[in-house]
Structure 1
Amino acid sequence: MIALLRYQAVLLLRSQRWLPPVLLYAGTVGISLDGQSQLGSQLGWNAAVSVPVLAWLTRSQLAAEPPAARACLAAAAGTRRPHHAALAVPLAVGLLLVLLAAAVSWPICRTPQGAAPVAVLGAGVAAGLVCVLTGSALGAAGSPPLVRTTAGGATALVIGSVLLLVLSASPANAAVRSAFSSGRTSADVPLLPLLAVLPLCAVCWWASARAAGRVGAATGRESG
């Protein structure tokens, strides 16, 4: 599995498909750092931005591999393990982005009186984790092999990101609201959103890997 993760990481790096979503995240976070916002609000904003960014980055990863290379990898390691590795690499990149954004936001943003900066930071990072997992789930559901066309995938990611951030039943929405409230009152770690997003992400990963396995089996029968 380590070799597959390394392969997917090199594939993403060399394809340069990571540049647009990462630059979008860095630019959006950088513009919002004006030194006037409170730490919790800034971390909530950072977390919210990571949902569409992770969905985009995940789709970029899943669409980066040429069909011939995918077929060779499936013949050597199966279809589901490489697919899981392709989903794990963007997730790791998203976690790194959230941590870097939190590290930059901490010394710049204000912390309200009576609130522990470390507690607010921890709650904000936890909210970022929830949003990263949410974006990964959306990216898995809106990418090949479940959604193959570029137009369909882009539409699914845009609409899905808006709904996941707006609907109150969404774990991402609850986590972002928790982070914003941490900037004004006590810092509460979003445990319930985290517990809710884990099975959501697992189901989306399973469905995406299952579809990849079916596509690989059908391709093998056609080639045979």
Structure 2
Amino acid sequence: MTALVRYLFTVLLLSQRYLAPVLLFTGLLAVLTSNDSGPLTATYGSAAGAMLVCSVWLTMALVGLEDRAHRSVVVVNAGGHPRALAGWVVTAVLACLPPAAAGLVLPLVFGSHSPAPADLLLGLEAQLTCAFTGIAIGLVCSPLVFRRQGYALVLALVLLAAVLLARTRSPVGALLVDLQSTSRSADLLGSTAVLLAAAAGVLAAGAAITYAIAVRK
């Protein structure tokens, strides 16, 4: 597994396909948090929304790095579809960690805040919740499921809108509502941890759906 993740991460870095989603994420952070002096909960909510979009794009780019034949070679060398899919998931999570760190630090640079440890922990939970949900969407909309990326893009946009507008019915929607309505980070740490666990479940479900469809194909 370590060799597979190292290989996928190296291919992603050499391809430079990570640049577009990372630059989009940075641009959204700059626009949404520039000159901000309000509660950090709302600021980290904006950063988490940017992470959601970035993680979807990054995952789709990661899985789509190679054509169908080369992906088959990766599956065989990995020891089967489960290990190959696990490698893509782990690599996607690792690829989201640097933007997540930027999502914690850049709002403090762009705005005027005095963060407490609870603020940083809440920001990390929010970033990971959106990253896990975005990776799940990215897997379901990846070339493992769709051969025509036009259809995949439409579905990705629909799923993004669904998780953002569902509010209490999705971890991301509930998270953003909580971050916008509460100004004390310490009051949200417990509920956000529950939402993070729910997002991990969404990621597992997305991986299971992707696996079932990829194996049938």
TM-score by length of 2: 0.88
Which one-letter code corresponds to 1:43 in the other structure? Y
Aligned ranges for residues 198-209 of structure 1 at < 5 Å? Answer: 198-209=200-211
Q: Percent identity?
A: 26
Q: Give, in angstroms, the shift of residue 34 of structure 1.
A: 2.1
Which one-letter code corresponds to 2:63 in the other structure? L
Residue 82 of structure 2 corresponds to residue 58 of structure 1? no
171-180 vs 146-155, which moves further: 171-180
| Structure number with larger C-alpha Rg | 1
Aligned ranges for residues 49-128 of structure 1 at < 5 Å? Answer: 49-76=50-77, 77-111=79-113, 117-128=116-127
Q: Give, in angstroms, the shift of residue 69 of structure 1.
A: 2.1
Q: Indicate conservation of the 8 Å contact 1:62/1:87, yes or no.
A: no
Q: Give, in angstroms, the shift of residue 129 of structure 1.
A: 1.0
Q: Give, in angstroms, the shift of residue 198 of structure 1.
A: 1.7
Distance 2:98 2:177 in 1: 22
Q: Give, in angstroms, the shift of residue 102 of structure 1.
A: 0.5
Q: Indicate conservation of the 8 Å contact 2:12/2:62, yes or no.
A: yes
1:103-127 CA-partner distances (Å, limit 9, x unpaired): 2223553448xxx622122112211
Aligned ranges for residues 1-224 of structure 1 at < 5 Å? Answer: 1-38=1-38, 39-76=40-77, 77-111=79-113, 117-168=116-167, 169-182=169-182, 184-187=183-186, 188-189=188-189, 190-215=192-217
Which one-letter code corresponds to 1:149 in the other structure? R
Q: Give, in angstroms, the shift of residue 75 of structure 1.
A: 2.5
Q: Indicate conservation of the 8 Å contact 2:139/2:210, yes or no.
A: yes
TM-score by length of 1: 0.85
Q: Indicate conservation of the 8 Å contact 1:40/1:180, yes or no.
A: yes
Distance 1:81 1:210 in 2: 14
Q: Give, in angstroms, the shift of residue 145 of structure 1.
A: 2.1
Q: Indicate conservation of the 8 Å contact 1:25/1:50, yes or no.
A: yes
Cα RMSD for the two superposed structures = 2.0
**Structure 1 segments unaligned to the other structure (5+ residues):** 216-224
1:14-40 CA-partner distances (Å, limit 9, x unpaired): 222211111100111122232323322
Which one-letter code corresponds to 2:26 in the other structure? A
Which one-letter code corresponds to 2:213 in the other structure? A
Q: Indicate conservation of the 8 Å contact 1:29/1:46, yes or no.
A: yes
1:46-73 CA-partner distances (Å, limit 9, x unpaired): 1011112111111111111133322222
Q: Indicate conservation of the 8 Å contact 1:138/1:157, yes or no.
A: yes
121-130 vs 61-70, which moves further: 61-70
Q: Give, in angstroms, the shift of residue 141 of structure 1.
A: 1.3
1:194-214 CA-partner distances (Å, limit 9, x unpaired): 222221110111221233333
Which one-letter code corresponds to 1:213 in the other structure? V
Which one-letter code corresponds to 1:167 in the other structure? A
